[in-house]
Amino acid sequence: MDYYAYKLPCRAFTATCPNGLPAHFTCTGTSDGFEVHITHEYAGVFGLGERYDALNYLGKIAVNAVEEKFCRQGDKTYCPMPFFWTDSGLGVYAQTARVTRFEFDRGAITLYLPANCTLHVFSGLPEEIVAAYMRLTGEPVLPPDWVFGPWISANRWDSREKLEHALAEAEELGFPVSVAVIEAWSDEATFYRFRSDDLWPEPGEMIERLHEKGIHLVLWQIPVYKQLEPHEAPNSQLERDWDEAMQRGLCVKNADGTPYRIPEGHWFADSLVPDFTNPETVESWFSRREYLTGLGVDGFKTDGGEFILSDDARFFDGTTGAEGRNLYPQMYTGAYTEHLRPGQALFSRAGYVGAHTTPILWAGDQVSTFDELRSQLNAGLSASASGVIFWGFDIGGFAGELPPPELYLRATQLACFAPIMQWHSEPDGGQFRLLQPGMEGNNERSPWNIERAFGLTGYTEQVRRWHLLRAELQPYIRAEAAKCVENCRPLMRPMAYAFPEDRRCIGIDDEYMFGDALLVAPILREGVSEREVYLPDGEWRDFYTGERVPGGSVYTRGCAEVVPVFIREGANSSPLLPELSHEI
C-alpha cells in the first residue's frame, strides 16, 4: 500500500491505484478554504462514518457534521468521518475537525475543505486502507467478553422492581441475558445518583445479585450540567455542581467568557456542557462517578454529545466551537474510556474520527418500521467501512408504535449476527407524545411483550431460538473480535471490502461478512419467504443444513423462518462455529 500526506495548499499530484488507474488531484484556494478536485474512475465509494441513507455514496453529497436527529436520519449522522475509500483502491482522509463537504460524481470527486487541513492519501486494498486510517487515528480497543452476549434495555425501567421483574421474566422464559442497560436509574438531575432509595433500594446488593446470575449492568449518561425544567423539583446537589462549574470554569464557554448553553429547541436546552479538555473538569466529573464503579457498575451508555452548536464556543485547550462541533463526542467518550476500570465497557451514540478507540457505537434512534431496519444496516456497514469494529442497533426500532412481530423477528435475526445484540425501547407513550406518539401502555420491546401485545401464542419461543443461537456464537465472535482489534479490521464487513476483486460486490449492500467465516443476508422487507444471495468464488456451506453450495453465482434460499447465512469453507475460525443443538 502507498501512503502520502499533503498539507493544504498543495501542488497538483497523481496517485496510482492498485489496478493501475490514476487519481489526479488539484487544489484551488477559495475565500472559505480550499477545493480539492479528484479525477478518478470508480464505481463505489464507502466509509464517511455512520451513514443511514446509503452504503455506496456514489452520486451523493456527504456533509461531515455531527448532528443529533431523532429517527429517520436520512443524510444526517451522529458519527461522521471525513474519510472514504473507493473500489478502485483510492483512500482519502481529510484531517480536520471542521465541517467538510464531499461530492461524489461519476469520474470526479470534489472536497470542500477548510484552511489548515492535511490530506492523507492511500492507495491499496480496502482492508489495507481502512487499517492504515485506523492506526493513524488511534489504536482500537477490545471490549470485555461479556459485551458479546444478548443485551436487554428499556427506558421504562425506572425502579429496581421493574428491572428485576423484566429479568425474572427473561429467566423464566429461558432467555440468556449478558447485559442489562437502565436509562431511568438516576435522579434525572446529576446523573450520578440513583433516583431514590424507595425506587432503587440497596443498589450495591442489587448489582451483586445480577453478577451472581452472570448479568452485567450498564448505566445511562449524558454530558450536561442540567438546566431543570419548570416542572422539575429543585436538586441541591445539582445546584452545588452548577456553582462549582461556574466558579472553577469547568464548562464550555462563549468567546466573551460567559458559559456556553445548549440553544433552545435542542435536547437539554439551556444546560451547561462540561469541558473535557480541562483536567479539572475531568477530575471533578469522574470523582462523582467513582461511587458507581465502586458499586460494581460494569459500564456506561454515553448518550448525546451533539451539543456544540455555535462556532462562538470556546474550550480550555483553545478549541473553538467550529472544531468542537465534531470533536466534542470524542472528547466526551474519550474521557470516559480513559476512566474505565478493567472489565468495564462503553456504549456510545455520537462520535467522529477515532470512534474505534471508544470502542462500541450504536445506531441511535429509529422508528419501528422496515425502512428504518434498512437504514440501520446501512449505518452498521458504513461505520464498519470507516473502521468501527463494534456496533449495534435497537432491535425492531426504538420509537413509535410497537414493531410488528415480523419486523421484530427479522431485526432479531440481523442482530444475532451483529457485534452487539440489544433490544431497547423509549419511554411509555413516547418521548415526543404530541409529535410522534408511541404506545400509551407498556411499549417495552421484549419478545414476551410483543407476544402479549399481538396475541401470538408461541412467538416468544420463536424469538428465543435466536437468543440461544447468539449465546452459542459467542466463542466465534470473541475470537473474531480479538483478531479484528489486532489487525484493525471491522467485524461486520461490506462485500466490497471483503471481496475487492469481485466487481459484483460493489453494488451489494444487503449482504455482509460477519468475521472471516460467515456471510449474512438479512431480510429487510415484509412478507419475504425466499431471497437471492450472491456467493463469491469459493466453496460455501449453508449454516443451518450443512448443504454445500458453490460460489461465483446467485443462490436462492428459502427464508420464511431463518435469515440466510453461509459458512465460507477454509476460514480459520469456522471450527469455533456451533454445531446447532436446537432447531431454528
* Domains recognised in the chain with CATH numbers: 2-137 (2.60.40.1760), 146-456 (3.20.20.80), 479-576 (2.60.40.1180)
Phi, psi (5° rounding) for residue 335?
-65, -40
| Inter-CA distances, 287 with 247, 282, 283, 293, 315, Å | 18, 8, 6, 10, 21
* Given the residues 128, 158, 365, 444, the one annotated as active site: 365
pLDDT for 397-416, tens place per residue? 999 999 999 999 999 999 99
Q: Which residues pair with 507 in a beta bridge?
A: none
Per the annotation, the verdict on 303 as an active-site residue is: yes
Question: What string of DSSP letters covers 62-111?
Answer: EEE------S--TT--SSEEEEEEETTSEEEEEE-SS-EEEEEETTEEEE
Q: How many CB atoms lie within 10 A of CB 375?
A: 25
Per the annotation, the verdict on 365 as an active-site residue is: yes
Select from 167, 172, 215 the least CA-distant residue to 460: 172
Low-confidence ranges of the chain (pLDDT < 50): 434, 581
pLDDT of amino acid 188: 94
What pTM, to 2 d.p., does this model score? 0.97
* Given the residues 50, 67, 87, 306, the one annotated as active site: 306
pLDDT of amino acid 581: 45
Q: Are 148 and 391 in contact (CB under 8 A)?
A: no
Distance (Å, whole) CA 17 – CA 91 = 9
* Given the residues 67, 183, 241, 303, the one annotated as active site: 303
Per the annotation, the verdict on 75 as an active-site residue is: no
CA dihedral 50, 54, 56, 61 (to 10 degrees): -80
Select from 99, 68, 64, 66 the least CA-distant residue to 331: 66
End-to-end CA distance of the chain: 43
CA dihedral 281, 192, 446, 160 (to 10 degrees): 170
